[in-house]
Amino acid sequence: MAKSYVIGVDVGTGSARAGLFDLEGRMLSVAKRDITLFREAVSIVEQSSSEIWNAVCTIIREAVQAAGVKPDQVVGLGFDATCSLVVLGEGGRPLAVGPSEETERDIIVWMDHRAVAQAERINAMGHDVLRYVGGRISPEMQTPKILWLKENRPATFSGAWQFFDLADFLTWKSTSDLARSTCTVTCKWTYLAHEARWDQSYFETIGLQELVAEGFARIGTKIVEPGTRLGQGLTNEAAEAMGLKQGTAVAAGMIDAHAGGIGTVGIGGKPVENLAYVFGTSSCTMTSTTEPVFVPGVWGPYYSAMVPGMWLNEGGQSAAGVAIDQLLSFHPASIEATAKARAEGKSLPAYMSEQAALKVGNSSDAVELAAGLHVVPEFLGNRAPFADPHARAVIAGLGMEHDFESLVALYIAGLCGIGYGLRQIIETQANAGASVKRVVISGGAGASPLVRQILADACAKPVVAPAAEEPVLLGSAILGSVAASVFPDVHAAMRSLSRRAADYAPGGQEVADIHARRYQAFLKLQEVSRTIRSL
Q: Which residues contact 315 (CB under 8 A, 6 or more apart)?
A: 284, 285, 287, 297, 298, 299, 383, 384, 385, 425, 429
Give 17's contacts (C-beta < 8 A, 6+ positions apart).
Answer: 9, 10, 30, 31, 32, 59, 470, 473
Residue 185 and residue 327 in one domain = no
Q: What is the dihedral of CA 300, 303, 309, 310, to 10 degrees?
A: 10
Answer yes or no: do 248 and 337 share one domain.
no
d(CA 99, CA 82): 22
Does residue 463 lie in a domain region?
Answer: no
296 falls within a domain: no
Does any domain span residue 397? Answer: yes
What CA–CA distance (Å, rounded) separates 301 from 297? Answer: 11
Burial of 200 per CB tally in 10 Å (0-12, 13-18, 19+): middle
State which residues form the domain around 154.
Answer: 5-255
Contact 51, 120 (CB under 8 A): no
Spatial distance between the Cα atoms of 458 and 415, rounded to a whole number of angstroms:
9
The DSSP H or E segment spanning 85 is strand 85-88
**434 inside domain:** no
**Could you report the per-residue pLDDT of 137-192, keeping only the tens digit for each?**
999 999 999 999 999 999 999 999 999 999 999 999 999 999 999 999 999 999 99
- For 118, residues 6+ apart whose C-beta sits below 8 A from its C-beta are 139, 144, 145, 147, 148, 151
| Alpha-carbon gap, residue 443 to 105, rounded angstroms | 27
pLDDT digits (tens, 9 = 90+) for 512-526: 999 999 999 999 999
268 pLDDT higher than 80: no
Task: Read off the pLDDT band of 467 (50, 70, 90).
Answer: very high
Q: Of the residues 230, 255, 280, which one is the last residue of a structural domain?
A: 255
Radius of gyration of the chain (CA): 22
Residues 282, 212 contacting (CB under 8 angstroms) = no
Which of 110, 90, 112 lies closest to 99, judged by CA? 112
The reply to whether 347 and 249 lie within a common domain is no
The type of residue at 21 is F
223/335 same-domain check? no
Give pLDDT, residue 269: 64
Q: Is residue 310 part of a domain?
A: no
Residue 446 falls inside a structural domain: no
Measured from the Cβ of residue 52, the count of other Cβ atoms closer than 10 Å reads: 24
Show the CA angle centred on residue 421, arms to residues 419 and 426, nearest 5°.
90
Query: How many domains in the chain?
Result: 2
Q: Transcribe 448-467 into DSSP letters.
A: SHHHHHHHHHHHTS-EEEES
Cβ within 8 Å of residue 26, ≥6 positions away: none
pLDDT in tens, 349-394: 999 999 999 998 888 899 999 999 999 999 999 999 998 989 999 9
- Position 100 in a domain: yes
Residue 456 CB-density burial (10 A; 0-12 exposed, 13-18 middle, 19+ buried):
buried
Write down the pLDDT at residue 1: 62
The C-alpha angle 272, 462, 407, rounded to 5 degrees, equals 130
Residue 356 and residue 242 share a domain? no
The predicted model gives 68-90 an average pLDDT of 97
CA distance 467 to 472: 12
On the 0-12 / 13-18 / 19+ scale of CB atoms within 10 A, 174 is: buried
**Closest of 226, 228, 234, 229 to residue 255, by C-alpha:** 226
What pLDDT is stored for residue 189 in this prediction? 98
Choosing from 240, 255, 270, the residue where a domain stops is 255
Cβ atoms within 10 Å of 222's Cβ, excluding its own:
11
Q: Can you give the pLDDT at residue 438?
A: 95
Confidence tier at 469 by pLDDT (50, 70, 90): confident
- Provide the CATH number for the domain around residue 42: 3.30.420.40
Query: Could you tell me if 231 and 106 lie in one domain?
Result: yes
| Identity of the residue numbered 444 | G
- 372: exposed, middle or buried (Cβ count in 10 Å: 0-12, 13-18, 19+): exposed
pLDDT of 270 higher than 90 = no
61-65, 486-490, 494-498: the lowest-pLDDT one: 494-498
Domain match, 151 and 232 both: yes
Q: Are residues 378 and 242 in the same domain?
A: no
Write the CB contacts of 485 (distance below 8 Å, at least 6 apart in sequence): 229, 249
Whether the CB-CB separation of 81 and 125 falls below 8 Å is answered with no
Return the CATH number at 339: 1.20.58.2240
Both 232 and 345 in a single domain?
Answer: no
Is residue 256 a contact partner of residue 10, using CB atoms and an 8 Å limit?
yes
Q: Is the dihedral of CA 79, 83, 86, 87 positive or negative?
A: positive
DSSP state letter for 127 = -
Q: How many CB atoms lie within 10 A of CB 217?
A: 12
- The reply to whether 245 and 333 lie within a common domain is no
Question: Are 343 and 251 in a shared domain?
Answer: no
Whether the Cβ atoms of residue 142 and residue 85 lie closer than 8 Å to each other? yes
- 361 lies in a domain? yes
Give tens-digit pLDDT for 202-243. 999 999 999 999 999 999 999 999 999 999 999 999 999 999
- Nearest of 285, 303, 301 to residue 293 by alpha carbon: 301
Q: Are residues 141 and 232 in the same domain?
A: yes
Q: What's the rounded mean pLDDT across residues 418-433?
A: 98
Find the range with the poorest average confidence among 80-89, 259-268, 282-291. 259-268
Asked if the bond preceding 449 is cis, omega within 30° of 0, the reply is no
Distance CA 29, CA 65 (A): 9
The last residue of one of the domains, among 235, 255, 275, is 255
